[in-house]
Amino acid sequence: MAPLTKKKTSKPQKPIAKKNPKNSKVKTPKDDSTSESEQEEILQQQHENDVVDDDSGSDSDLSSDGDDPLVDDFLQGSDDDEEKASGLDSGSGSDLDSDSDDEDIETKSRAIDEEREREKEDADAEMQLNIKEESDEFRLPTSEELEEEALRPPDIANLKRRIEEIVRILSNFKTLRQEGSARKDYIEQLKKDISSYYGYNEFLIGALVEMFPVVELIQLIEAFEKPRPMCLRTNTLKTRRRDLADVLINRGVNLDPLSKWSKVGLVVYDSQVPIGATPEYMAGFYMLQSASSFLPVMALAPQEKERVVDMAAAPGGKTTYIAALMKNTGIIFANEIKAPRLKSLTANLHRLGVSNTVVCNYDGKELPKVLGQNTVDRVLLDAPCSGTGVISKDESVKTSKDLEDIQKCAQLQKELILAAIDMVDANSKSGGYIVYSTCSIMVAENEAVIDYALKKRDVKLVPCGLDFGRPGFTKFRELRFHPSLEKTRRFYPHVHNMDGFFVAKLKKMSSSKPSSKLSEPSEKEEEETELVEEEEKRINDLKENDNETSESKSKKEKRRNPPSKLSNGIKENGKESSDSKYKVEKKRKFPSKPSNDVKENSKESSKREPQKKKKKSQHKEEISKARLNVFSCFDISFWDHSNAVEKNISSYLINIHALSMPYFENLRFL
């Protein structure tokens, strides 16, 4: 081992001198400034040095091994190590530079993000400030500005913005109102803007403003501008809802169950086929029907084997639903006053397989005379109305309806509901119910009609059996209704996503009708009674004045001509008997002043009687007694009917003639 160490120590002396240039030659090519020719020269010199080393050799194998490049690498490292080292040196510098660059980018990006956030915050603050300034600066338009707007085409954007501002101010009127402006001014301007923006007439928008708060009013009007979803009612006489839904889905219809409150309804979102022309529709598996028209039939809840009347049946949606609930048992009278609509009614009845229905064409007010009173178990009255709840289907209602139309509809509805109540049998074991419904939201057509029926007939309100819907009004402005009207139900498009509707259910307690004293009269009746009372007061005043004058005259006459003493009112001389007759007439006092005709007749009769031929003295006493009896009878009849003398004079003349007949018979006998 010792020689090895010596040889190792001796070897590095030779190659160190040789390897230094070699190392320099190896390092030189890494300089970028050297050209290709210089690199070739360096390679040649290196090759020559290698040849010299091989020729010189060494005495031992170890010396020869020293010339091996691996030995050089072992002692001083290889070129790759140098390159790696240089690469590490350069890489460490580049890493430092890249780290510094990354840090700069991060700081710059952070600064940019902060600037953006600041700009966004400033923009939001500026927007809020602008909104506050605009809201604070909002003022009602003056009359001059309104006149200028009337001359120009309507500015839709300005109207919309003004409606929103007025609604916002009215929702918090105390803090946001303009000084010197009353709530009435804002409401009047809101009415005008809504009328011009949405196209309503003045009457209808005024009625809606009275019924709803301004915020809810805008929601209602916006809901009227959108169509209601299309609904189907499954005909349970032929199929089930699940089977029908599967078939329609396979045909490309996108649908869902209507809601929890309905077991037969389906709502359709879109369809690749026409819903009203599918084979299932033609076969009578379903009926196109709005969701709101389900409600009256559900409230009626007809039972099997009952007698039911649908007073306004066309086009047959409710009638067929009643037949399905009754399972084609019992009997249904489907009445429709308009003959052209009977075609659609009968067509739907045949298509859906209804076999227990009788179709008739009568005026609903005459049905009690046709079907008889107290003959049916239940009546459904879907009364004709103004249609203010279905504006989304018929936009002409916005401008075509006025106060007169509402009053006409209300009068017709009152007559129809009384006819419906009269048809129902109060003693029915399973029935005795009347359901009243309208597609209107007007109070005059709904609560006022039910309150009228409660006063005119012995009925009471019962729960409708519907778990949703708003209760009816018990008071509206100056009107006060029966407290039980809370049991009625109202439905609105902006709340329940269906047409505006009203439903009330009545139970008939007895067939008796309340007296007119107990029932409060209607407006017309009140006016008539007031006029009659005024006329009666005037008549009474005149009668009192006449009585006073007649009494004063009779007193004066008594003072002038005091009555003579009579023995039983009769004397033997005819002159004295005639004088006593006139004195008896003067003594009698009538309770009221008779008419001129009666006076004249009495005077003429009194004048004619003294002119008659004188009879024998033995019969004068009987004649005078008969005369006194006639006048006494006349006085009694006149007293009994004194209040109506001026109204019917002829009847009293007939009575007088009848009472005087015995007198003339006595004369004939004598």
Pairing of strands 470-471, 459-462: unpaired
pLDDT of residue 511: 83
Q: Is the pTM of this model over 0.75?
A: no
- For the chain, how big is the Rg over CA atoms in Å? 56
CATH fold group of domain 229-289: Alpha-Beta Plaits (3.30.70)
SS3 label, residue 569: coil
Amino acid identity, position 135: S
List the catalytic residues.
Answer: 439
Do 268 and 245 meet the contact criterion of CB atoms below 8 Å apart?
Answer: no
User: Given the structure tokens 């008419």, which residue do they identify?
Assistant: 595
What is the pLDDT, as a whole number, of residue 389? 94
**382: annotated binding-site residue?**
yes
Is 316 annotated as contributing to ligand binding? Answer: yes
Peptide bond preceding 229 in cis form (omega within 30 of 0): no
**Over the stretch 227-249, which tens digit does the pLDDT of each residue have?**
999 999 999 999 999 999 999 99
| Phi–psi pair at 636, nearest 5 degrees | -65, -45
125 is in an annotated binding site: no
Q: What stretches of 196-330 adopt beta strand conformation (E)?
A: 230-234, 253-257, 265-271, 286-288, 307-310
Task: Count the neighbouring beta carbons within 10 Å of the beta carbon of residue 319.
Answer: 28
Determine whether the annotation assigns residue 207 to a binding site.
Answer: no
Determine if residue 317 is labeled as part of a ligand binding site. Answer: yes
User: Domain 292-508 sits in which CATH superfamily?
Assistant: Vaccinia Virus protein VP39 (3.40.50.150)
68: tokens are 């091996």
* Tokens 């006493």 found at: 621
Q: What pLDDT score does 567 carry?
A: 41
Q: Which two tokens stand for residue 313?
A: 């049946």
Q: How far apart are alpha carbons 49 and 24 in whole angstroms? A: 13
3-state helix, strand, coil in the chain (%, to 5): 60, 10, 30
Instruction: Identify the helix (H) or strand (E) that includes residue 335.
Output: strand 331-335
Q: Which residues of the chain have pLDDT under 70?
A: 1-99, 129-137, 515-670
What is the rounded CA–CA span in Å between residue 653 and residue 659?
A: 10
171-203, pLDDT tens digit by residue?
888 888 877 788 888 999 999 999 999 999 999
Specify the residue for token string 């009546």: 379
Rounded to 5 degrees, what angle do the CA atoms 398, 399, 400 make?
105
- Would you state the pLDDT for residue 219? 93
Q: How far is CA 407 from CA 451, 453, 603, 660, in A?
A: 15, 16, 56, 55
Residues of the chain with CATH 3.30.70.1170: 229-289
Domain with CATH 3.40.50.150 in the chain: 292-508
- pLDDT on residue 512: 80
| pLDDT tens profile 479-532 | 999 999 999 999 999 999 999 999 999 999 988 877 543 444 445 555 555 655
Token reading at 627: 């005369």
Confirm if 232 and 290 have CB atoms less than 8 A apart: no
CA–CA separation, 69 and 329 (whole Å):
116
**65 in a known ligand binding site:** no
Tokens found for residue 451: 């309150």
What is the pLDDT, as a whole number, of residue 153?
Answer: 85
Do the annotations mark residue 315 as ligand-binding? yes
